[in-house]
């Protein structure tokens, strides 16, 4: 039975660490993020030890929060005592410490709000948008530097530098992390939406060697995005567009891998396994996203996702429409990844040679496995087996995901000699 506490603590860590940190930060203040992190670590270590000895409590999450709360109060009381000894405070300090206990840490609303509050705090307007998102992903969502680098199609070095600079500015006081209110929430929404998008993205097709889809990350992104649609400050058309996009993409999860975890490509997926419930939700959100006159990049991506989800089969997918949306998206957001995806859509809309032309024109992805996987597939479709082999082999070298390696091996094996 000693294996169970380890697994449970690991599970709790993935699910609860972010929330715990957010709640503790609310108590300690946003300037003490690292301290909050340490307290969370201490709590989890204590859980591991105690649960091995005494068994797993009935409500493990509540146990964690109680202990974390106790540790935080200890820290705060020590500071109060210290200040008192320096001759500052009276009995009021004790009373203040008492009232700190009053707000319950167990209400779901409180926890949810804490996470959103932290997300909004991290999206400080003085930081570049990409740094805002990186800070969110590191601080709240628990992504590793490598995962964040993958999300931004950049190097671990770059991310480290970005985060270091941000932390320095927070440390030296030139940036105060604080929870915005009212119209500030609306102003910071772009950064928060981008962070949720990237969080979902990592879960949707992760760089993790053993897990293609990390559902807990996607569920977290969905949950937080839904909360945003429930507040008048943040329920902009863009928020609904993002949520529609996430629901469409999540609807296909059950069909994207076999029970053994091998990848099932879109053209081979059993579409009866797509969640129609999620698609129905997505359609409703899309309707609400259509309220304004402005189509954000999330609207365009949601429109593409819609085309896939409403197609009865791969063959009847409206590829020309998808290609048009990608062209619009590219004009709005000149990114190599968008250009690459557009090339794929063009291949299916107008033929592999057109797709190849577009793909070969994409700059900057020579070290990315997806670039070579796409080229490999398009060369295969165009009947150029040697070039196909070359690029598929390169993709194989560049990916760390076991499922992707397996798929690429399969593709290589199916090429004519």
Partner 1 sequence: MDKFMLLFHGNAQAQQDFANQSPEALQAELQKWNNWIGGIAAQGRLVGGEALAPGGKTLTAAGQVHTDGPYTEGKEVVSGYLTLKAVSLDEAVQLAQGCPVFETNGSVEVRPVTNFEQ
Residues that bind partner 1 (CB under 8 A): 272, 274, 276-277, 279-280, 283-284, 286-288, 290, 303, 306-307, 309-310, 312, 318, 321
CA end-to-end distance (rounded Å), the chain: 53
DSSP string, 291-346: TSS---HHHHHHHHHHHHHH-SSSTT--HHHHHHHHHHHHHHS--HHHHHHHHHHH
- 82 or 310, CB closer to partner 1? 310
Beta carbon of residue 318, minimum distance to partner 1 (angstroms, whole number): 7
57-62: long-range contacts at Cβ-Cβ below 8 A with a sequence spacing of 24 or more? 60/8, 60/12, 61/12, 61/16, 62/106
Beta carbon of residue 73, minimum distance to partner 1 (angstroms, whole number): 47
Three-state DSSP string of 18-69: HHHHHHHHHHHCHHHHHHHHHHHHHHHHHHHHHHHHHCCCCCHHHHHHHHHH
Beta carbon of residue 278, minimum distance to partner 1 (angstroms, whole number): 10
- 37 or 318, CB closer to partner 1? 318
Distances, alpha carbon 94 to alpha carbons 23, 81, 415, in Å: 22, 9, 75
Distance CA(376)–CA(332), nearest Å, equals: 28
Beta carbon of residue 298, minimum distance to partner 1 (angstroms, whole number): 15
- 160 or 327, CB closer to partner 1? 327
Beta carbon of residue 243, minimum distance to partner 1 (angstroms, whole number): 14
- Match 């410490």 to its residue by tokens: 97
- 295 or 395, CB closer to partner 1? 295
- 8 or 311, CB closer to partner 1? 311
The answer to whether the beta carbons of residues 298 and 241 sit under 8 Å apart is: yes
Distance CA(205)–CA(211), nearest Å, equals: 9
- 55 or 277, CB closer to partner 1? 277
Beta carbon of residue 212, minimum distance to partner 1 (angstroms, whole number): 24
Phi, psi of 350 (to 5 degrees): -125, 0
The count of other CB atoms within 10 Å of the CB of residue 386 is 8
- 39 or 278, CB closer to partner 1? 278
Distance CA(173)–CA(169), nearest Å, equals: 6
Beta carbon of residue 229, minimum distance to partner 1 (angstroms, whole number): 13
Instruction: Give the containing element (helix H, strand E) for 171.
Output: helix 156-171
Distance CA(225)–CA(411), nearest Å, equals: 37
- Residue 145 CB-density burial (10 A; 0-12 exposed, 13-18 middle, 19+ buried): middle
Beta carbon of residue 223, minimum distance to partner 1 (angstroms, whole number): 22
DSSP 3-state of 87: coil
- Match 């577009």 to its residue by tokens: 358
Name residues whose C-beta falls within 8 Å of residue 262's C-beta, 6 or more positions apart in sequence: 403, 406, 407
- 229 or 384, CB closer to partner 1? 229
Beta carbon of residue 265, minimum distance to partner 1 (angstroms, whole number): 20
Beta carbon of residue 280, minimum distance to partner 1 (angstroms, whole number): 6
- 93 or 283, CB closer to partner 1? 283
The answer to whether the beta carbons of residues 326 and 338 sit under 8 Å apart is: yes
**Cα radius of gyration rounded to whole Å, the chain:** 24
- 246 or 279, CB closer to partner 1? 279
């Amino acid at each position: 039975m000693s294996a169970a506490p380890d697994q449970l603590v690991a599970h709790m860590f993935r699910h609860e660490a972010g929330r715990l940190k957010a709640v503790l930060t609310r108590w300690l203040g946003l300037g003490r993020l690292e301290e909050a992190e340490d307290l969370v670590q201490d709590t989890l270590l204590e859980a591991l030890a105690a649960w091995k000895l005494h068994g797993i409590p009935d409500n493990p999450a509540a146990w964690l929060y109680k202990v974390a709360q106790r540790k935080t109060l200890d820290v705060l009381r020590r500071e109060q005592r210290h200040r008192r000894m320096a001759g500052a405070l009276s009995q009021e300090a004790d009373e203040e410490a008492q009232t700190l206990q009053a707000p319950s840490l167990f209400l779901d609303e409180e926890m949810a709000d804490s996470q959103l509050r932290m997300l909004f705090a991290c999206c400080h307007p003085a930081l570049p948008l990409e740094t805002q998102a990186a800070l969110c992903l590191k601080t709240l969502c628990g992504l590793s530097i490598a995962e964040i680098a993958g999300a931004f199609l950049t190097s671990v070095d770059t991310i480290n530098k970005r985060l270091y600079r941000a932390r320095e500015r927070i440390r030296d006081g030139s940036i105060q992390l604080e929870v915005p209110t009212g119209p500030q929430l609306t102003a910071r929404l772009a950064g928060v939406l981008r962070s949720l998008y990237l969080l979902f993205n990592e879960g949707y097709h992760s760089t993790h060697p053993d897990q293609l889809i990390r559902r807990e990350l996607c569920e977290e992104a969905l949950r937080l995005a839904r909360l945003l649609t429930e507040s008048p400050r943040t329920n902009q058309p863009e928020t609904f567009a993002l949520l529609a996009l996430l629901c469409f993409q999540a609807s296909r999860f059950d069909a994207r891998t076999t029970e053994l975890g091998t990848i099932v490509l879109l053209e081979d997926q059993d579409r009866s396994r797509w969640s129609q419930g999620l698609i129905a939700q997505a359609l409703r959100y899309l309707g609400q996203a259509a309220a304004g006159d402005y189509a954000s990049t999330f609207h365009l991506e949601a429109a593409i996702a819609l085309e896939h989800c409403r197609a009865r089969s791969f063959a009847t997918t409206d590829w020309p429409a998808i290609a048009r949306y990608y062209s619009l998206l590219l004009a709005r957001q000149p990114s190599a990844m968008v250009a690459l995806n557009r090339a794929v859509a063009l291949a299916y809309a107008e033929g592999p040679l057109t797709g190849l032309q577009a793909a070969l024109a994409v700059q900057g992805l020579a070290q990315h496995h997806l670039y070579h996987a796409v080229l490999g597939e398009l060369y295969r479709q165009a009947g150029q087996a040697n070039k196909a082999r070359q690029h598929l082999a390169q993709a194989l070298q560049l990916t760390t995901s076991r499922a992707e390696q397996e798929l690429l091996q399969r593709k290589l094996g199916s090429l004519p000699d």
